Amino acid sequence: MSERAVAFHCPYCGDENLRPHTADAGSWECHSCLRAFSLKMLGLIRPTGLGPVVPGSETRS
């Protein structure tokens, strides 16, 4: 349904020498520091920074 989220740099060493780790979406490995990690979207945040949007909690006027 959606494409793989692309990591632009390693969150540990900052290098850009990344490759997909497995066929699972969001799984990456860094060939510079030899670490594997995953990316995961947790959800949407409110523009005002008040926290996550919980489905069904929106108020209507």
Question: Which residue ranges make up each domain of the chain?
Answer: 1-61
pLDDT in tens, 37-49: 998 878 887 777 5
pLDDT in tens, 6-32: 789 999 999 999 999 988 778 999 999
Q: Which fold has domain 1-61?
A: N-terminal domain of TfIIb (2.20.25)
d(CA 18, CA 34) in angstroms, rounded, equals 10
- Beta strand residue intervals within 1-61, DSSP E: 18-20, 27-30, 36-38
pTM of the model: 0.59
Distances (CA, A) of 56 to 9, 14, 34, 59, 61: 36, 38, 43, 8, 14
